[in-house]
Amino acid sequence: MTMTPHQSSKQYSRAWIALLAFFTSLGPLSIDMYLPALPAMAQDLGVSTQMVANTLPAYFLGLAVGQLIYGPISDRIGRKKPLYFGMTLFTLGSLLCFLAPNEWSLIAARVLQALGGCVGVVMARAAIRDRLDVQASAQAFASMMIVMGIAPILAPMLGAWILQFSGWRSIFLILAMIGLICLFCVHFVFKETLKPERRLQLSFGQVFILYRDIFKDQSFRLPMFAGCFLGAALFCYISSSSSVLMDEYQFNQQQFAYAFGANAFGIILLSTLNKKLASRWSVLKRLTIGGFIQIGGSLLVFVAGLMLHAPVIFVFMGMFLAVAGIGFTGPNAMALAMAQQGERAGTASAIMGSMQFGCGLFGGLILNFLMWGALLNMAVLMLAFTTAGLWAVRIVVKNLQQQTA
């Protein structure tokens, strides 16, 4: 499953990437599987769909905070022990979601679920950086995104299928079972990637100094902001897609699942193209193209939001481009940000992941206060985030060109 020590840093096992993608997929599974159930959950709990949708920013909060904890801990004790703890916590949180009697206990359980589930993405990023150089890591992140992209395609479909035979609570029971499978894989399959001699012996106070030093590192900070802002378009879409497609355009659960899956397929499509173009185009060029694709999609959604009742195909095209472009921006921004981090890759990965989901939390909360329709609310946030992201990309390009001049 893992690479042997004598393998080149430019090589990686497909099975190893698939394992890391499986751990990382806890996030999209936990976010996307229950989206078709939001209206049914609202009816069952006696609240609005938007109130139940607040379980999404609650999950983003847990993801943001949890990653800041796992990063430095994994740099100190290795990658495997945090995986044990996180997967156990995720399973427990999923069971509490299954048992939640009201919306507030569900929100609290979602935070706990996220605090556990976020361990997968931190350890996957750090493990890749432990073993691979920047060019190989960009391809590995793209490969992982392709595999991981299957999760948001299948998750809403699986959720809609479960709803045909059982209630929404069964979705969280399935997630608890997936958590147990992950625990099995951690114990029997995953091999430690951070050797003891490369671990950082940090005190509690030194962790904050490390966070400060990494954040001050321009080679990390600028690509991180680019990736976070551009990635936030996805969180805007996730938080609003149920209201837009099911409430405004009257999609049923199965139709919503297919539409959501098609957009997720766009990420896989562009991630595959990104990987194939790795030998022809630089990381920076692919990142820039992805940024323009995303902002183009956001503009389409914005124009649709200004129309009285935009054709659904027009809305879908904008959503597709805004989301699919992440297949270009995500892996390349991550590779650039992590390129110079070395032994502190776990902590750097945690900062980037925390900032990404912090943007998702911020966007989800802002949606509660915007006064327009669900489509225009989503479009305004998407356009704001992608504009900021493309601006950050331009600064990254300018700085790197100056360094090589």
For 102-146, the pLDDT digits (tens) are 989 999 999 999 999 989 888 887 888 787 776 777 777 777 766
- The answer regarding whether domain 15-194+201-404 maps to CATH 2.30.42.10 reads no
Q: What is the pLDDT of residue 175?
A: 95
Write out 104-134 in H/E/C secondary structure: HHHHHHHHHHHHHHCHHHHHHHHHHHHHCCH
* Interval 98-103 mean pLDDT: 92
Tally Cβ neighbours within 10 Å of residue 103.
Answer: 19
**Every domain of the chain and the residues it spans:** 15-194+201-404
With a cut of 70, say whether residue 2 has pLDDT above it.
no
Question: For 64-74, what is the mean pLDDT?
Answer: 82
How far is residue 56 from each of residues 46, 144, 375, measured CA to CA in Å?
A: 18, 23, 18
How much is the pTM?
A: 0.73
pLDDT of residue 149: 67
Average pLDDT over residues 190-213: 79
Q: Identify the pLDDT of residue 95.
A: 96
* DSSP symbols for 243-266: IIIIIIS---HHHHHHHHHHHHHH
372 confidence band (pLDDT: 50, 70, 90): confident
Q: What is the pLDDT of residue 10?
A: 46
As a whole-number percent, the residues of the chain with pLDDT over 70 amount to: 94
Q: What is the DSSP string of 80-98?
A: HHHHHHHHHHHHHHHHHHH
Q: How far apart are CA 361 and CA 309, in angstroms?
A: 28
Question: Average pLDDT over the chain, rounded to whole?
Answer: 84
Which distant-in-sequence residues (6+ apart) come within 8 Å of 168 by Cβ?
34, 37, 40, 41, 44
Place of tokens 């990104």: 274
Q: First vs last Cα of the chain: how many Å apart?
A: 42
Span 360-367, mean pLDDT?
80
- Rounded Cα–Cα distance for residues 322 and 378 (Å): 11
The answer, yes or no, to whether residue 148 has pLDDT greater than 70, is no
Please check whether residue 343 is in contact with residue 201, taking contact to mean a CB–CB distance below 8 angstroms: no
Of 94-108, 168-182, 344-358, least confident by mean pLDDT is 344-358
The pair of structure tokens assigned to 261 is 């899956």
Q: Which of 17-26, 86-95, 234-243, 329-338 has the highest mean pLDDT?
A: 86-95
Q: What is the pLDDT of residues 333-357, one digit of tens each?
A: 888 887 777 767 767 877 887 888 7
Mean pLDDT over 364-377 rounds to 83
Tokens of 67: 């990653």
How does 109-135 read in b/e, with b if 16+ C-beta sit within 10 Å?
Answer: bbbbbbbbbbbbbbbbbbbbbbbbeeb
| Tens-place pLDDT, residues 275-321 | 888 778 888 888 889 999 999 999 999 999 998 888 989 998 999 99
